[in-house]
Amino acid sequence: MKIIDKYLFKSFARLYLIILGSFVSIFLVIEFFEKWSRFFSEEPAFWNVVSYFILRIPYIVVLSSPVAILLAGLFLMQYMGKHNETVAIRSAGISIKRMSVPLFAFGFLVTILLFVFGDTVMPWAEDTRVYIERVKIKKQKKSDIRVRSNIQYKDDKNRLYYIGFLDGYKNKIKNIDISIFNNDNHIITKIQAEHGIWEADSTGSGKEMKLTFYNGYIREFDDNQLIFYTNFEEQYFDDIHVQPQDLVKSTKKPDEMTVFELHEYIERLRRIGEKHQKELVELNLKLAYPFVNVIMILFCIPLATLSKRGKSRGISFVIAIAICFLYISMVRFGQSLGYNELLSPVMAAWFANIIFGTIGLIGLFKTAT
């Protein structure tokens, strides 16, 4: 069995890498022609263009891996069936379910690798790619990337900032909520304001701007009980030194964060009483999506049985592509249900996996019998 397992594992891995490499190449060629006119009108440096497309590869790999897994398994089963290898294996007393073990082993390996890869390399690559496109190729200034909304920021004094909108061009923020905590992580002060404006501090060195808040109120707490409340029309706080560039740096989208960054971000939202349903869905999706690489293997053998006749090979290929698109649609559907709180974040994230995993298992067992 070890020889057969190694043969199946290596054959499957080789086909997977070939198909995945083909998808990456096709995607890069398509995007190259889409970006060609816009990029080269700016006369960018050659290395910046090359770097942009290299940094696009991690995203394409994570996105197209499930399709590559399914097609690799399908082509392997078709090849073995065409050369009567499956007949020889089964005549040796090896069942189809046992024969699929190396495929699932490879699928679990890909799942683990892509989870780590998608949580470490991909966010960094996408962030760097966007920077190269905007700053290096399109010649935008760093300060041009300064219009943001729904910002969460934590300073070095354990204060949490929620900013509804940042206009970095006018140095203005709106819908401000600042929560100050004690050493036991209990809120002791809450500052809310309609808007705030940064102005040059004439008394300082000029490196730091002064932030003034307008139309707000201050609440103080002791053991979660309100003990003080006051309104203000205009207020400056000596110990708040947050600057526009601090908020720009903190404005990653959930899909650009790692699992740990997103978990910390959700904890911040919890502590200031903000809604975090969408973020919880995204966190669970990061955990659930890599498992599609295992689920797609369940469909390989049932689809291969459709391809015993040459005329059916094209049909099984079309079905395989359709399955992948249906899976993505189901992921988005579950995500939408989760966003709207119709499903729990965990169920919303695993919704597509549960449905397709169940269908795949039924198909596998029916084929095996």
State the DSSP code for 137.
I
How confident is the model over 184-199, as a mean pLDDT?
88
pLDDT bin (cut points 50, 70, 90) of residue 38 is confident
Spatial neighbors of 84 by CB under 8 A, at least 6 apart, are: none
pLDDT of residue 311: 52
* One-character DSSP codes across 40-100: HTT---HHHHHHHHHTTHHHHHHHHHHHHHHHHHHHHHHHHHHTTHHHHHHHTT--HHHHT
How confident is the model over 2-17, as a mean pLDDT?
87
State the DSSP code for 11.
H
How confident is the model over 163-180, as a mean pLDDT?
86
pLDDT tens profile 89-133: 777 677 777 778 888 899 999 999 989 988 888 888 888 888 888
- Angle in degrees, CA 114, 47, 129, rounded to 5: 40
State the DSSP code for 287.
H
* One-character DSSP codes across 87-134: HHHHHTT--HHHHTHHHHHHHHHHHHHHHHHHHHHHHHHHHHHHHIII
Which of 76-85, 169-178, 338-347, 356-365 is the least confident region? 76-85
Contacts 24+ apart (CB under 8 A), 139-143: 139/42, 143/168
pLDDT tens profile 205-220: 556 788 899 999 999 9
Residues 147 and 169: their CA atoms lie apart, in Å, by 8
pLDDT bin (cut points 50, 70, 90) of residue 145 is low
Helices 310-339 and 277-288, interaxial angle, to 10°? 150
For residue 257, give both structure tokens. 């964060």
For residue 240, give both structure tokens. 């708040």
* Strand order across the beta sheet in which 159-167 lies: 147-154, 159-167, 172-181, 187-200, 209-222, 225-236
pLDDT of residue 144: 47
How confident is the model over 162-185, as a mean pLDDT?
85
Q: Which residues pair with 213 in a beta bridge?
A: 196, 235
pLDDT at 55 over 70: yes
pLDDT of residue 333: 93
Residues 212 and 191: their CA atoms lie apart, in Å, by 12
Instruction: Please choose, from the candidates 44, 231, 244, 230, the residue with its C-alpha nearest in 3D space to the C-alpha of residue 136.
Output: 44
How confident is the model over 231-237, as a mean pLDDT?
91
pLDDT tens profile 263-287: 877 876 776 566 788 889 988 998 8
pLDDT of residue 143: 47
**What mean pLDDT is reported for the chain?**
82
How confident is the model over 44-48, as a mean pLDDT?
82
Residues 331 and 368: their CA atoms lie apart, in Å, by 28
